[in-house]
Amino acid sequence: MKRIAFKLKLRPGRLAEYTRRHDEIWPEMASLIRASGVSDFRIWHDPDTDFLFCSQLREDDARADLIRSEALWRRWQADMAEFLVTRPDGLPQRWPLNQVFHLP
């Protein structure tokens, strides 16, 4: 297992609805995430910057990245696009974060 982390930028004033939608994540989307070998997926919000800090455990990067070819994943991303700063292709702009310390 490997932990990865990245950040996303939330659009101002969108936290409540973004949170509500994740509280009500589509069951089939949660199943797809798990089936891709991703677990312990967490999202935190920094209220000073509106950045979202995301972390997840992955069994395998290649397997986890295959989720991007799924129509369901693309629908979820399209549904979330109104909340996040996006790239020109409409997907969320992601900034990878590098681990600098770990205390097991």
Q: Give the distance from CA 100 to its chain's centroid.
A: 21
All residues at 6 or more sequence positions from 85 whose CB lies less than 8 Å from its CB, including other chains? 8, 9, 10, 11, 92, 93
The two most distant CA atoms of the chain are separated, in Å, by 39
Residue 74 main-chain phi, psi, to 5 deg: -65, -35
Q: How many Cα atoms within 13 Å fall on the side-chain side of residue 25? A: 15
Active site residue ranges? 22
Q: What is the pTM of this model?
A: 0.88
The per-residue pLDDT for range 33-82, each reduced to its tens digit, is 999 999 999 999 999 999 999 999 999 888 888 999 999 999 999 999 99
